Structure 1
């Protein structure tokens, strides 16, 4: 019976996590709709207003669920860690590691060894059509909510045990799923996105504070997107 309860609990956690993801994706759909209606300012304004209200709800709800999760089960002692000179240096090391991957990626694209990711092409197109809101969303909002879902909630839902094996598996799986959410096919581009996701997972386990991840994700998105303007 205990084994059955464990399986049922795991399935329930899967459904809840997918639910968080779907709630977030609805927000991106609203923004995409507003972008497509750029020739109709009234529709755009109403859609953006709806998106802002919905985004506030999504952020408040998922942050609340994350905090409740840590209160009920937090074996790794995630929370808030003071920013010191050492941690700042470590944060920058993680950033430059991500930047290095982005540079190699860009060189491979420039050399026509890899194509520009469809996800990046779509984002760039949306930025051209509706620059302010798409940039603000991708740089300011997406990093926060994606770190809460892909690192914060995911690792404590499915890889709770604080052991080396669970930590490695958690980083790998969170990275691969993060990659798949950006590229829905097994490819070199998927590997690149997955590597970035793994670095973010590693950073979360290292700092034990989601704010460091949000900062890394923010800097990475800002660098990637602003380079295309």
Structure 2
């Protein structure tokens, strides 16, 4: 039960981390009411999110000595072309979805609805911090860092493909989108983030890409 080689232990740890994420997500919703940022709600979100982020980082660093690493992993600089491609694809997916929303009226996500209700500078910067940075970072700890090293440890092609698919699905579910087209776009982006992690074996690569995706999402609100 004490190392990431224990399936039962991994399920318990994963459940605890997931509950922590839901707490932060709920705190974010409490901080914004009727399109306005509430002072005490935002303070609560700030304190809880920083505590949870520190907890995630501490646990990941503590457990990483048990994680399996590929012997053929290349330096991140050798993946520059791939990372540029992933960044470009994320940008294209976000722009296409934004265009379809404006042109076809497919509906808005909960964060878009909340922003349009207030549409203020304070709300914009709060979403940049909460959605663009904090929640995006926590999602990558869950969907790539902990997920792959808990449940898809073997370095095989089949495991990698299955891991990317399930990681993308969890990423899409964690964004709570009920609009089919937006859900599909989240699947695509989640798959790209998982691919970047498997290629580089560095958690901070998908984290930075996820922050780019999150900030871009808020900018396009």
Corresponding position: 1:217 with 2:210: yes
Which of 65, 69, 72 is the equivalent residue of 1:71?
A: 65
1:126 positional shift:
7.2
Identify the residue that residue 100 of structure 1 maps to in structure 2.
92
Q: Tell me which of the two structures has the higher relative contact order, counting C-alpha pairs closer than 8 angstroms and 6 or more residues apart.
A: 2
* Partner Cα distance (1:51, 1:205) in 2: 31
Tell me the CA shift for residue 67 of structure 1: 1.7
Query: Pairwise mapping of residues 143-162 of structure 1 onto structure 2 (< 5 A)?
Result: 143-162=136-155
| Per-residue deviation, residues 25-84 of structure 1 (Å, max 9, x unmatched) | 212222221211877x8xx3333222222112101111111122221232337x9x8553
| Mapped partners of 2:85, 2:112: distance in 1 | 28
| Preserved CA contact (<8 Å) 2:147 2:167 | yes
Check conservation: 1:33, 1:47, Cα contact below 8 A. Answer: yes
SS of residue paired to 2:155:
coil
177-186 or 167-176: bigger deviation: 177-186
After superposition, the CA RMSD in angstroms is 2.8
List alignment gaps of at least 5 residues for structure 2. 1-5
The corresponding residue for 1:6 is none
- The match for 2:168 is 175
Find 2:112's aligned residue among 96, 108, 121. 121
SS in 1 for 2:70: coil
Cα distance in 2 between the residues matched to 1:90 and 1:96 = 10
Aligned to 2:3: none
Query: Does the residue aligned with 1:25 lie in a helix, a strand or coil?
Result: helix
Q: Distance in 1 between matches of 2:102 and 2:124?
A: 24
- Structure 2 distance, partners of 1:55, 1:46, is 14
Specify whether residues 183 and 137 from structure 1 end up closer, same or farther in structure 2 by C-alpha distance, changes over 3 A only. closer
The alignment's TM-score, normalised by the length of structure 1, stands at 0.80
Count of residue correspondences: 214
Q: Please, what TM-score do these two structures have when normalized by structure 2?
A: 0.83
> What are structure 1's unaligned runs of at least 5 residues?
1-8
SS at match of 1:74: coil
Q: Segments of 4+ in structure 1 off by > 4 A?
A: none
Q: Does the 8 Å CA contact 2:24/2:45 hold for their aligned counterparts?
A: yes
Q: Structure 2 vs 1, CA of residues 117 and 208 (structure 1 numbering), >3 Å: closer, same or farther? A: farther
Q: CA offset at residue 119 of structure 1?
A: 3.7
